[in-house]
Chain A
């Protein structure tokens, strides 16, 4: 395939850029993501996942069952911050750092 072919259309990452980081030692989707921004756009790797796995397989010979899936985080698909915040007082969809802090006598335990 031509090196100029776009693999990640959200972030416009070409095959050439992906192959370059693989030759520098990247072995998983997440390695490539951290080095190139591949898969960090609105689709969150839903489109380029299989193309990147194919590039890793092609370049390193790693069989597909040894190429792990990209990490899939919450929220599962894009959501407006306004919606995510909710207007509820009893249910919070977003965890604040403070939610995880336990207090004892007014001090952090």
Chain B
């Protein structure tokens, strides 16, 4: 048994968690980072697309390069890494139960930064449970991390920026992308450059369309698409579902934080204030868990949460923290308004709601 006591526990080692680890560890705090994966970087490690809206101190780079940068930044600090570990729950006295899959042991921390990220949402249609139907993120993981070609003929359901990225990446590894099916009347991706590239390599985008059903014996073989009054069938052994993403909330729910609903941030989001602090005063949050956004914003929210924890634990002076936080919020505004103004507005509404009386314990049933 290896009971741990630490100043800061960071749950999740993606862009937000790593950025928070740098802020806190570089100011002399005792930091512990836990992630269920065996490697640092979270989803960044399979992102080969170029990330354009990054903070001003970072030049445009690809996802895995950003992961490498954030990891290098914290190399010199003595951080305790609990990789391949999971949080299983919380005890009444605030102790956190952590498992290494062999044993469960307690962790006690002064402050916690929860950066658990977001999960992909499902899109259901008849026979979507057939093998060959996966989420768009799973398809990207297979080609970029595992070097496995998940199929020969693909249809993508949904047209976000991420869907465009993966459509291009699938094409690059020799998967024939037969089409992108979008139920809205227009393409959701705001990155016109990427949509142009998708058009250029001849991938048709069907808007105002939906999947009627998947067909196949034991695995998906063809997919029936409905566009207005036209119904047609495409041969496909791979269907990638892009239903958007929502914050992962289990840990917040167990901790008893309040939640607010912001559609643009991915639905239910834990309530937090301008300091990225929840209504459990020792619990801070960062990254997609605080509202689904772009990688640059994830890094910035990680830095903000880290800075606030430093201030709370006396590792930086109030004055320094105030200046730093002001700069980070300004930077977040620039990155997020450039990426998607709706997300920036939703984040501000959400933060404003914190000071209004929020409905507490609304989910206890």
Contacts and interface: CB of A to CB of B under 8 A. Distances in A.
B352 interface: no
B122 A93 contact: no
A96 interface: no
A75 B243 CA distance: 27
Given A88-B103, A90-B1, A50 B243 contact: yes
A90 B95 CA distance: 14
Interface stretch (B62-70, B253-261, B289-297): B253-261
Interface in A46-82: 46-48, 50-51, 64-65, 68-69, 71-77, 79-80
Interface in B310-365: 362-365
Contacts of A23: none
B105 A86 contact: yes
A40 to B, nearest CB: 15
Interface residues of B, number: 40
A21 interface: no
Contacts of B243: 50
Interface residues of A, number: 36
Contacts of A6: 124, 128-129
Nearest to B100: A83
Contacts of B1: 86-88, 90-91
Give the secondary structure class of A's interface: loop
Given A50-B243, A69-B259, A76-B251, A86 B88 contact: no
A17 interface: no
Contact of A72 (B128, B254, B267): B254
A83 B250 contact: no
B254 A83 contact: no
A22 interface: no
A28 B364 CA distance: 12
Contacts of A46: 119
Contact of A84 (B104, B122, B246, B363): B104
A76 B128 contact: no
Contacts of B106: 91
A83 B128 contact: no
A102 interface: no
Contact of B88 (A28, A72, A77, A90): A77
Contacts of A79: 86, 88, 99, 104
A104 interface: no
Nearest to A46: B119
B267 to A, nearest CB: 7
A51 B86 contact: no
A76 B88 CA distance: 5
A91 B105 contact: yes
Contact of B124 (A1, A30, A74, A80): A1
Contact of A9 (B129, B213, B261): B129
B99 A83 contact: yes
Nearest to A7: B124
B263 A72 contact: no
Contacts of B213: 2
A33 to B, nearest CB: 10
A69 B87 CA distance: 20
Interface in A1-33: 1-2, 4-7, 9, 15, 28, 30
B121 interface: yes
B280 to A, nearest CB: 15
7 contacts: A48-B122, A50-B121, A73-B254, A77-B250, A83-B101, A88-B105, A91-B106
Interface of A: 1-2, 4-7, 9, 15, 28, 30, 46-48, 50-51, 64-65, 68-69, 71-77, 79-80, 83-84, 86-88, 90-91, 93
The 4 A-B residue pairs whose C-beta atoms are closest, nearest first, are A74-B89, A65-B261, A93-B104, A72-B253
